[in-house]
Amino acid sequence: MEDAFRMAMVSLDDPDTKVSSLPHSFLAVLPVTGASVSTLGSFLGSQTVSATDSSSAWLDELQFDLGEGPCWDAVRLARPVMEPHLRGRRGPERWPAFGRAVQQREIASIFAFPLSVAGLRFGAVDLYSDSPLDFDEEQTQHASALASAVARRVLRQSLADLDIADETALSPFSRRRVHQATGIVLAQFDVDAEDARMLLQSHAFASDRSVMEVADDVLAGRLAFSRESGAIEVDS
């Protein structure tokens, strides 16, 4: 399993790996039947990024439609959500509408891992098994690490698709201000420079502003990123 995990992590870090291949990394490491990667909420919208099979895609769509299920809980709680016994009473007791809807499907267990970068939560990885399954500690750690790598790929690709301008190329002065703001976010969250920069870009998109405007607010102390709430806090 360890060799498969290392190979999967290398593949996820490879920029040539297609987004459509991301959920297949989980199948190479874990004894699950299917996997999907989805974005959730208002930031990037709710949609399936990629799925290994039709049942995985159906599970995503069902949760989007109902507004409940493990992927929503994983994003809300910022932690893995695992249900080894989805059939019978357990599923409907935990998720009334979702749990009832899956009873006639060959889905015995389901697991969801949040997609987040430096506290910004925007999606989830859903894994399912057609026979009862529970993760041990090592499998949970591997799934969480894979989800973290997938989160960076999805956010990076989403920001590129949104065509957010790279305003650091405008002038030496603007470059310095964005780099300074990136350094502040980096220190607040103890993350690397790429993650800090993606947070600035993400907030620029979410607030319909430019990266430069967001950087100026960070430098002036009007905008702070809070790990405690898992969201962006703005000081007035």
pLDDT digits (tens, 9 = 90+) for 150-201: 998 888 887 776 554 555 544 444 566 777 777 777 666 666 777 777 777 7
Same-domain check for residues 155 and 200: no
Same-domain check for residues 142 and 204: no
Same-domain check for residues 120 and 147: yes
Same-domain check for residues 141 and 54: yes
Same-domain check for residues 176 and 140: no
Q: What pLDDT does 125 receive? A: 98
Q: What pLDDT does 163 receive? A: 55
The mean pLDDT of the chain is 83
Same-domain check for residues 175 and 112: no
What average pLDDT does the segment 96-119 reach?
A: 92
Q: What pLDDT does 138 receive? A: 96
Q: Among the three residues 161, 193, 225, which one is the final residue of a domain in this structure?
A: 161
CATH number at residue 179: 1.10.10.10
Q: What pLDDT does 143 receive? A: 97
Q: What pLDDT does 169 receive? A: 47
SS3 28: helix
Confidence of residue 110 (pLDDT cuts 50, 70, 90): very high
pLDDT digits (tens, 9 = 90+) for 47-90: 999 999 999 999 999 999 999 999 999 999 999 999 999 988 88
The per-residue DSSP string of 97-140 comes to HHHHHTTTSS--EEEEEEEEETTEEEEEEEEEESS-----HHHH
The CB-side HSE value for 189 (13 A sphere, CA atoms) comes to 28
Which residues on neighbouring strands pair with residue 121, listed in sequence order?
A: 116
Q: Among the three residues 115, 141, 161, which one is the final residue of a domain in this structure?
A: 161
Same-domain check for residues 113 and 173: no
Same-domain check for residues 134 and 190: no
Same-domain check for residues 31 and 116: yes
Q: Tokens 């962006």 — which residue?
A: 232
Q: Which residues contact 179 (CB under 8 A, 6 or more apart)?
A: 168
Domain range holding 79?
2-161
What average pLDDT does the segment 98-107 reach?
A: 93
Same-domain check for residues 106 and 203: no
Q: What pLDDT does 187 receive? A: 65
Count: domains in the chain:
2
Same-domain check for residues 120 and 18: yes
Q: Among the three residues 141, 161, 181, which one is the final residue of a domain in this structure?
A: 161
- Secondary structure (H, E, C), 143-170: HHHHHHHHHHHHHHHHHHHCCCCCHHHC
Residue 62, amino acid: L
SS3 64: helix
In the chain, pLDDT over 70 holds for what percent of residues? 85
pLDDT value at 228 more than 90: no
CATH number at residue 30: 3.30.450.40
Residue 178, amino acid: V
Same-domain check for residues 41 and 154: yes
What average pLDDT does the segment 214-228 reach?
A: 73
Closest CA to 114 of 98, 125, 103, 129: 125
